[in-house]
Amino acid sequence: MEAKIFREIIQRMDIPCLILEGNVVRFANSSAEGALKRKLIGECIGEEVLQSRTPFLEWRSFEVDRYRIYLGLDVSEIHRLRGELEKRKEFFATATHEIRSATNSILGYLALYVDGEIKLAHKELAEKAYSAALKLSALVNDLLDYVRIEEGTEELKLEPLKVNTLLHAIVEDLKGYAFRKNVRINVLPVAEHIKIIGDRKAFSCVMRNVLDNAIKYTSIKERGEKSVKVSFAEGKEMLCIKVEDTGIGIEPERLPHLFEVFGSYSPEGTGLGLAISKKFVELMQGEIAVYSAGPNQGTTVMLWFRKAEE
Amino acid sequence: MKKVILLVEDNPEHAEIVQIALTKLTDVEIKWAKDAKEALDLLKEGLKPQLILLDYRLPGMSGRELLERLREMRMEAKIIVLTAEYISKAELMKDGCNNALLKPFLPEELINKIKKYLQ
């Protein structure tokens, strides 16, 4: 090929491209110059430079006549996808681990129950199998919810929602549970007419989740006051719902990971509740944050929702 | 003399199931460690188990690391891995255990496996 034409073609290529003539590597086009200058200092001479410190580029070389051509491939997308795949694999591994674990408890307790030789109170074994089955069922539901949201199949219908009515219905549902766990729930009044923009099912799921956690992690505290308080703060465009408990709190090092999938895992929970809640809140264009001063200092969850026009 | 089994398991339900199931075996004493550190402490204090039942996903040092450590220590005890990990039995055997049981399992399966190693 004519050297001149060849160079011209290369210069017009949009991907970073270098030419090696003898010992000298030249920028073949401006995108090569840009790609290398962004990451490299000094001249680019010889092949070593090409195994460069440019993490987003991978150089492939081939020969044409007396030239060696290097094509810089942008691999940032490949890196991103690889990371994504790693995350999925981990999710799958943890999900199957949790399902197998919960099933092991159910099967184990039931097998001991059926096996007459074991001298242990039958009722106790049945209760343990039952609570393990409840946990598995919660886990499976959370997993399905999470996957549906991730895939985008969970379609939300955003509409004005009456906070007062919805929240009271949820609290009413949870009162029995809280009473059995010796936890007092106190909901401060919010104006009857206040409406937020949200999806009825998603909002209920989030609030139920947050309140359920508050009750659960307060009930397992060994001593001291056991209560959950729900209060409201009204801004111009947003409504903040604050759920404060006097429970076991959270270690500071765990706080940044709470919203990750399985990041809030504990023997009491599935580790998916907060990840699901965050996704739902974001789909409703709101925000959610968790604060805790540390172990046994209680936990506060703040949720912000967009207010509907009155 | 009683034979000693060391159970390394962080899940209290799974530990309880194994402990109840093993009451069927006579002349067996079971020691429960909630993590690798507790297990190593017990061994340092002179515990000499014939058999170690080892969960893989443990807080802190993993069961796999502990298995490696025990092999380095030339621990004579047989080791059965009990795990809910997404892994095949063949892969587990490569890690150097004597046997493996994937969760969920029936208590009876565990007892049958254990009996082999206590004779």
Question: Of the candidates B13, B86, B106, which has its C-beta nearest A97's C-beta?
Answer: B86
Residue A46 pLDDT > 60: no
User: Are A108 and B57 within 8 A, CB to CB?
Assistant: no
Measured in degrees and rounded to the nearest 5, phi and psi for residue A79 equal -60, -40
DSSP letter string, A244-282: EE-S----GGGGGGTTSTTTT-BTTB-S-HHHHHHHHHH
Locate the domains of chain A by residue range. Answer: 3-74, 78-151, 159-306
A78-151: CATH architecture? Orthogonal Bundle (1.10)
Contact predicate A288/A301, CB 8 Å = yes
Mean pLDDT for chain A?
A: 85
Maximal CA-CA distance, chain B:
38
Using a CB-CB cut-off of 8 Å, the residues of chain A touching B108 are 111, 115
Q: What is the pLDDT of residues A7-21, one digit of tens each?
A: 788 778 777 787 777
Burial pattern A139-171, b for ≥16 Cβ within 10 A else e, equals beebbebbeebeeeebeeebeebebbebbeebb
Q: Which chain B residues are within 8 Å of A97, Cβ to Cβ?
A: 57, 84-86
Residue B28, number of CB atoms within 10 A of its CB? 16
Total structural domains within chain B:
1
Of the partner residues A97, A118, A132, the one whose CB lies closest to the CB of residue B13: A132
Q: What separation in angstroms does the CA of A122 have from each of A128, A129, A300, B66, B105?
A: 10, 11, 40, 36, 20
What is the pTM assigned to this prediction?
A: 0.73
Name the residue with tokens 């765990």.
Answer: A254
Q: Which of B10, B23, B103, B111 to mutate to test the interface with A (most CBs of A within 10 A)?
A: B103
- Whole-number Å distance between alpha carbons of B41 and B47: 9
**Chain segment B42-67, per-residue pLDDT in tens:** 999 999 999 999 999 898 999 999 99
CATH code of the domain covering residue B87: 3.40.50.2300
Terminal C-alpha separation, chain A? 74
Q: Which residue in B13, B17, B84 is closest to A100 by CB distance?
A: B84
Contact B12 A267 (CB under 8 A): yes
- The answer to whether residue A265 scores a pLDDT higher than 80 is no
Find out whether A269 and A213 touch, Cβ atoms under 8 Å: yes
- Give the residue from chain A lying closest to B106, CA to CA: A108
Give residue A47's pLDDT: 45
Chain B: closest CA distance from residue A209 (Å): 24
Statement: residue A307 has pLDDT above 70: yes
Q: Flag the least confident range among A46-55, A102-111, A125-134, A222-231.
A: A46-55
**A159-306 CATH, one of 3.20.20.120, 3.30.565.10, 1.20.1250.20, 3.30.70.890:** 3.30.565.10
- Lowest average pLDDT, out of A50-59, A134-143, B1-10, goes to A50-59
- The first and second tokens of residue B26, run together, are 């006579």
Contact A158, A284 (CB under 8 A): yes
Its domain, for residue B104, covers: 3-118
Q: What is the pLDDT of residue A48?
A: 47
Query: What is the DSSP annotation of B52-72?
Result: EEEESS-SSS-HHHHHHHHHH
* Helices B36-44 and B63-72, axial angle in degrees (round to 10): 20
Q: What's the maximum distance between 2 C-alpha atoms anywhere in chain A?
A: 92
- Triad A207, A209, A214: Cα angle to 5°: 95
Of B109 and A3, the one with more pLDDT:
B109
Q: Cα–Cα distance between A308 and A161 in angstroms, integer?
A: 8
Report the complex ipTM.
Answer: 0.91
The answer to whether A268 touches A281, Cβ cutoff 8 Å, is no
A232, two tokens? 């409201």
Higher pLDDT, A116 or A200: A200
Minimal CA separation from B106 to chain A, in Å: 6
